């Protein structure tokens, strides 16, 4: 009997005791629809959209995409073939939100102009959603820049409420846009080896970011809140979304819709941040409690990716 007991103990080593496994969920949000890429031809946009949606459908992830409607126009003319890209999202059973018409920053233009750009940016999206019996519900700030004074924030929040919107906050901030530009630049240079190097670095970087935001959540709340991920409708994600999903699943995540994630009481906390940068809501809440609550050593984009992207910094 002693031998059997020893074998049982050995077999149990490395397996978490019931109740100790973190309950991890993440809502995936994708910005800059229909596509953000160095290549703006219709064929490329169709290919990126088809591949990205194929991965999303295969994984069964309830994504919401945020639209910049200026991308739907050729000059002053609405291009129905570009609009068809949004129809592909809706036909895949996904939700669309508003990311303004022209992706301008609230920190850079007057509030009235920003509000007008928001309303201009809902015209086509509202119509497409109505065809499915749906309403537009969520708004995402371009650059995650949400206003430099509390008065601007309060006035804009009132405007959103009057127009039936809720802000879509993000917890897992990252620089996928830098990887995207580097990946595009390598493709444009016809350098497949360099593309692979960027791609090989992408998901490990994202996993380091996920780990960081998990720890930041623990520091603030003593638990891991439901995470909300921001990525973009770009070339690199159309190639590596499967790998991102696999990474999250390996870390024990279930994918939920944005509604479900935002039911957590953490997201009822006010956003009082009026700094210039676009930052995660976890950092906003941390700064509200004092800068010492911001977890240090946030992972950075590898130097070779940053250099290839042409961006000066994250």
Q: Which two tokens stand for residue 29?
A: 């949000």
* 174 within a domain of the structure (yes/no): yes
Which one has a higher pLDDT value, 131 or 14?
131
Does the pLDDT value for residue 9 go beyond 60?
no
Q: What is the pLDDT of residues 152-199, one digit of tens each?
A: 999 999 999 999 999 999 999 999 999 999 999 999 999 999 999 999
Cα 238 to Cα 42, 149, 256, 266: the distances in Å are: 16, 37, 20, 31
Q: What is the rounded average pLDDT of the residues 94-100? A: 98
* Residue whose structure tokens are 């935001």: 213
Q: Which of 3-17, 182-196, 253-267 has the lowest mean pLDDT?
A: 3-17
Give me the DSSP letters along the chain. Answer: -HHHHHHHHHHHTTSPPTT-S--EEEEEEEEEES---S---HHHHHHHHHHHHHHHHHHT---EEEE-GGGGEETTEE-HHHHHHHHHHHHTT-EEEE--SS---TTTS-HHHHHHHHHHTTHHHHHHHHHTT----EE--GGG---SSHHHHHHHHHHHHHTT-EE---SB---HHHHHHHHHHHHHTT-HHHHHHHHHHHHHHHHHHHHHHHHHHHHHHSS-PPEEEEEESSHHHHHHHHHHHHHHHHTTEEE--HHHHTTSGGGGS------SS---HHHHHHHHH-GGGSPS------HHHHHHHT-S--
CATH number of the domain enclosing 224: 3.20.20.370
Q: What is the mean pLDDT of the chain?
A: 93
Cis-peptide into 34, omega within 30 deg? yes
* 16 within a domain of the structure (yes/no): no
* 241 within a domain of the structure (yes/no): yes
Does the pLDDT value for residue 4 go beyond 70?
no
* 4 within a domain of the structure (yes/no): no
Does the pLDDT value for residue 30 go beyond 80?
yes
Q: What is the pLDDT of residues 48-88, one digit of tens each?
A: 999 999 999 999 999 999 999 999 999 999 999 999 999 99
* 138 within a domain of the structure (yes/no): yes
Does the pLDDT value for residue 208 go beyond 70?
yes
Which one has a higher pLDDT value, 22 or 66?
66
Does the pLDDT value for residue 216 go beyond 80?
yes
Share of the chain above pLDDT 90, in %: 92
| Model confidence band, residue 23 (pLDDT cutoffs 50, 70, 90) | confident
Q: What is the rounded average pLDDT of the residues 91-107? A: 98
Per-residue pLDDT, 163: 98
* Alpha-carbon span 192 to 179, nearest angstrom: 15
* 12 within a domain of the structure (yes/no): no
Does the pLDDT value for residue 3 go beyond 90?
no
Per-residue pLDDT, 199: 98
* 231 within a domain of the structure (yes/no): yes
Per-residue pLDDT, 1: 37
Domain count, the chain: 1
Give the range of the structural domain holding residue 51, as residue numbers without chain letter: 22-309
């Amino acid at each position: 009997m002693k031998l059997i007991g020893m074998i049982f103990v050995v077999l149990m080593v490395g397996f978490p005791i019931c109740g100790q496994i973190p309950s991890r969920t993440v809502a995936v949000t994708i910005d800059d629809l229909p596509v953000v890429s160095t290549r703006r031809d219709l064929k490329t946009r169709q290919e990126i959209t088809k591949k990205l949606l194929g991965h999303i459908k295969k994984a069964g992830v309830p994504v919401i995409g945020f639209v910049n409607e200026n991308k739907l126009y050729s000059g002053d003319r609405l291009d129905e073939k570009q609009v068809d890209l949004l129809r592909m999202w809706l036909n895949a059973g996904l939700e669309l939100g508003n990311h303004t018409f022209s992706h301008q920053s609230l920190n850079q233009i007057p509030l009235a102009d920003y509000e007008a750009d928001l309303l201009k940016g809902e015209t086509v999206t509202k119509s497409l959603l109505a065809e499915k019996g749906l309403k537009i519900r969520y708004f995402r700030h371009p650059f995650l820049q949400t206003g430099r004074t509390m008065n601007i924030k309060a006035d804009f929040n009132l405007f959103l409420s009057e127009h039936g919107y809720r802000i879509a906050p993000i917890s897992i901030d990252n620089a996928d846009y830098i990887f995207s530009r580097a990946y595009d630049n390598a493709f444009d240079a016809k350098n497949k080896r360099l593309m692979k190097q960027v791609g090989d670095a992408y998901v490990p970087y994202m996993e380091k970011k996920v780990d960081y935001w998990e720890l930041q959540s623990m520091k603030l709340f003593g638990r891991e809140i439901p995470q909300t991920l921001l990525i973009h409708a770009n070339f690199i994600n159309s190639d590596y979304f499967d790998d991102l999903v696999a990474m999250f699943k390996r870390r024990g995540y279930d994918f939920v819709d944005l509604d479900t994630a935002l039911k957590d009481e953490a997201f009822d906390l006010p956003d009082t941040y009026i700094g210039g940068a676009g930052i995660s809501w976890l950092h906003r809440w941390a700064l509200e409690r004092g800068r010492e609550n911001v977890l240090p050593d946030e992972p950075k984009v590898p130097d070779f990716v940053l250099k290839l992207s042409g961006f000066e910094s994250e």
